[in-house]
Structure 1
Amino acid sequence: MNKVTLLWSGGWDGTFRFLELMQHEDIEIQPIYVIDPGRESTPYEKKAMKKIIFEASKRFPAKVRDIQFYERDWILQNCKNEKISNAFRYLRKNYSIGTQYEWFALLCDKLNIKMESAVVHQYHGKVEDAIHAEGKLELIENDFLPERYCVKKAGEKNTAFLVFGDLILPVIKLSKEDEEKIARQNGWLDIMKYTWFCHTPIHGKPCGLCSPCDDAMNTGMEWRMPRCAQFRYKNRKFFRLIRAIKRKIGIR
Structure 2
Amino acid sequence: MPAPKSSTHIRFAAVGDIHVQKDSAGTLRSLFAEADETADALLLCGDLTDYGTAEEARILAEELGAVHIPVVAVLGNHDYESGTPEVVADTLVHAGVRVLDGSACEIEGVGIAGVKGFGGGFGRGTLGAWGEPAIKLFVQEALNEAMKLESALAKLRTRRRIALLHYAPIVGTVEGEPAEIFPFLGSSRLEAPLLRYPMDAVFHGHAHRGTLEGRTINGVPVYNVAKPLLQRIRPDTSPFFLYELPREPVDEKTPADAQA
TM-score grouping bracket, smaller chain normalisation: 0.3 to 0.5
Q: Between Structure 1 and Structure 2, which shows a larger proportion of strand residues?
A: 2
Q: Between Structure 1 and Structure 2, which shows a larger proportion of helix residues?
A: 1
TM-score by length of 2: 0.33
Q: Computing the radius of gyration over CA atoms, which structure comes out larger, 1 or 2? A: 1
